[in-house]
Structure 1
Amino acid sequence: MSITSSMYTGAAGLRAHSDAMDVVSDNIANVNTIGFKKSRADFADVLGGVIAGKRAGAGSMVAGVSQNFTQGALLGTGQVTDLAIRGDGFFVVSGMVDGVRGTFYTRDGQFNLDQDGYLENAAGLRLQGYPIDANGQVTTTVGDIQIDMNALPPQATTQVELVGNLDAEQPIDATPFDITDPAGTSDFSTTMTVYDSLGTPRELQFYFKKLQDTPTPQWEYHVVAAGTDVDPPPPGDYELLGTGTLDFNTDGSLANNSLSSVTVSWEGAASATIAIDLGSPTSGGGTGVDGITTYASPSGTTFLSQDGYGSGDLAGITINDEGLIEGQFTNGQTRALAQIATAKFANNQGLERRGDGLFAQTRASGEPAVGTAGSGGRGALVSGSLENSNVDMAEEFVHMIAIQRGFQSNSRTISTADEMLADVVQLKR
């Protein structure tokens, strides 16, 4: 070893601290970059020659740069397609990067819908996930997430359900039910909106009339449609679709319902068979109290439902913590549209940084474990939020000062060695 060697050692220290300052500068520059993960310069010593029979050091070097994948703070944005991962994992995106098409991974959840319904980031990379078929089943193949922007087609009503009570103290009127005057010849009525095959709203009317009190209560009911809604139209204002008898037990529970469905030929639309659910009668093993009952209280309905709807346009989407994307339509319907996929790696440090917040898989990182958020060790998604950079400015300034002092100290060793070398030169004069 020699004085000149100490100069080279100091130069190695300058180079190492300069590289470390590059890392700190990069961290500070990305303090507000969404999804950014701070880095750290890992110093290592360098061996030189032999002094007194032992290897001596020859300075330092930056042996590697490791990234810190700790969670960054979540920033609320209110935009549904802004996504953050709370916990481990990465979004999976696909597209062109540096002229090469591939799959990449990122913590940056700034996504938007393009004109074709694809969820993509600012670089045009498309978010990956699982499509959902028309039956609501999630497929197992990962691909580009595309939101169907088309209108939801109508669905004709196939079933109606009524829950309510028929007054047990209703006097019996011997006047038979008359379709020409349904309101005047019945004891209670209710109306329900249903839909035909084109999504046109229609009305079904239910007219109830008490028949007897003993030995057990019995009522009849008539399902009626407006004459203008059916084809061919009836001679009067109403079309009688079906008549049923309701037998009750002495405790007011439903014992039997003789009418299970009605068929109607809608004007201008397809014919429909509509099942009628007035509760589970005790004759069939049901409770008899989950639909129509007859208690000593006023007649009325507490619940009306049917399974049809008109067409509807997509009004908006929601994304839950498992990455399930659901569409809300103007007809009040909600449909599952897609499921976002996230990926988890055995060794995040093995990922290759590709810029724009992207990482690429390597042998060191291992194969990605791709699945749904909130499962398999993958973190939950937070819609309407973004993950900020995990850079701590105070910490970076401390590192910067330490690196600056290290750089200054190494420069001092060079200047001191230069002075010593000058002294040696002076000995010859």
Structure 2
Amino acid sequence: MLRSMYSGISGLKNFQTKLDVIGNNIANVNTYGFKKGRTIFKDLISQTVAGASGSTATTGGVNPKQVGLGSQIAAIDTIHSGGSTQFTGNTLDLAVAGDGFFVVADGNATPPTAFSNPQYTRAGNFYMDNDGFLVNSDGKYIYGFADPAAATAADTAFTKADSAPVATTTATGTKPTFSGGAAEKPIRIPTNAQSMSVGQNGTVTFVDSEGTLRYAGQLVMVKFPNPGGLEKSGANYFRETSNSGTPFYSVATEQGMGKIESGFLEMSNVDLSEEFTEMIVAQRGFQANTRIITTSDEILQELVNLKR
């Protein structure tokens, strides 16, 4: 009886964890770039009552007799399938159609000239700060290749015009280099620019005060051999882990990276109908395990009553 009771307890704990994951998925159904979780169970150790035996000249073989002792969590996966895209019409709302993450990072100085502490995200709601730098809602700079001299305090434009430099990448796991020799720097738009746009390959251009189309930079993207190994660090960010593999940097539309859709945002990949179905199954599983515990308790009570 105690074995069945402890098996029921293990089931309760696991279904509670499953409900926690489902609850988090539902809570983030409208979170841009959110990737849903999935709970996988596996059985616990089994006690062997009698071992297997092979066939003989007079009898056939006998299978082992085992009693399972409950279940445990095998994995809590992050599912990196793409979410649906929502049209916003905002130029700096960017969705990735395909593989890859945006890279956001802190600046190393004021004004920033390089990056530190990079993190990865699929949430592409970006903005311009008061100095014209492209940032996310937390003020982190978008990882890109540019020369901030393209937008100095005097708002003089970088001489590179209407097209981005040709991107060439080196070995897997290294960052791309550009034929124009641009360094990794935050992308900045002059404060007096008339308009700006972001191409499908991440090229950022703007129309200066004189009506000339200018090049501002190109967004860098990253992907991993095992995106499921990334660690969620909150605020729509992922971090590299020892099991995510070496990050591969490139630009959109090249070397397996998805394209960037300006004016769209990627919604959560949570399917409410699927989550509600999983919630019903988890609820019934939880209830069934409570019945195991209460039934075991009733049987133990009957055994105690034998003494009366």
1:58 and 2:69 correspond: yes
1:336 and 2:215 correspond: yes
Indicate conservation of the 8 Å contact 2:189/2:206, yes or no: no
Q: Which one of 37, 40, 49 corresponds to residue 39 of structure 1? A: 37
388 and 142 in structure 1: CA distance in 2 versus 1, 3 angstrom threshold: farther
Unaligned runs of at least 5 residues, structure 1: 151-312
Find the counterpart in structure 1 of residue 225 from structure 2.
346
1:147 and 2:176 correspond: no
Between Structure 1 and Structure 2, the one with more helix by share is 2
The AA in structure 2 aligned to 1:128 is: Y
1:119 and 2:160 correspond: no
Indicate conservation of the 8 Å contact 2:146/2:218, yes or no: yes
> What is the correspondence of 1:21-420 to structure 2 with a 5 Å cutoff?
21-53=19-51, 54-95=65-106, 102-132=117-147, 134-136=158-160, 137=165, 138=178, 143-149=184-190, 313-420=192-299
Find the counterpart in structure 1 of residue 59 from structure 2.
none
**Superposition misfits of 4+ residues, deviation over 6 angstroms:** none
Unaligned runs of at least 5 residues, structure 2: 52-64, 108-115, 151-157, 166-177
316 and 64 in structure 1: CA distance in 2 versus 1, 3 angstrom threshold: same
Between Structure 1 and Structure 2, the one with more strand by share is 1
The AA in structure 2 aligned to 1:146 is: I
Distance 1:362 1:141 in 2: 29
Q: CA deviation at 1:120?
A: 1.2
Q: Which one of 281, 300, 303 corresponds to residue 424 of structure 1? A: 303
Indicate conservation of the 8 Å contact 1:20/1:62, yes or no: no
140 and 75 in structure 1: CA distance in 2 versus 1, 3 angstrom threshold: farther
Distance 1:40 1:140 in 2: 44
Distance 2:141 2:43 in 1: 44
The AA in structure 1 aligned to 2:129 is: D
Q: CA deviation at 1:339?
A: 0.2
Deviation larger for 139-148 or 105-114: 139-148
The alignment covers a number of residue pairs equal to 261
Find the counterpart in structure 2 of residue 181 from structure 1.
none
2:304 partner SS: helix
142 and 83 in structure 1: CA distance in 2 versus 1, 3 angstrom threshold: farther
The AA in structure 2 aligned to 1:332 is: G
2:7 partner SS: helix
Q: CA deviation at 1:123?
A: 1.6
The AA in structure 2 aligned to 1:110 is: N
Q: CA deviation at 1:365?
A: 1.0
Deviation larger for 330-339 or 385-394: 330-339
Q: CA deviation at 1:144?
A: 4.0
Indicate conservation of the 8 Å contact 2:96/2:260, yes or no: yes
Distance 1:140 1:346 in 2: 28
User: TM (normalized to structure 2)?
Assistant: 0.80
Q: CA deviation at 1:48?
A: 4.2
The AA in structure 2 aligned to 1:127 is: I
Distance 2:141 2:253 in 1: 21
The AA in structure 1 aligned to 2:190 is: M
1:143 partner SS: coil
Q: CA deviation at 1:354?
A: 0.7
Distance 1:328 1:365 in 2: 40
Distance 2:256 2:233 in 1: 25
Q: CA deviation at 1:148?
A: 4.0
Q: CA deviation at 1:413?
A: 0.4
Distance 2:77 2:94 in 1: 25
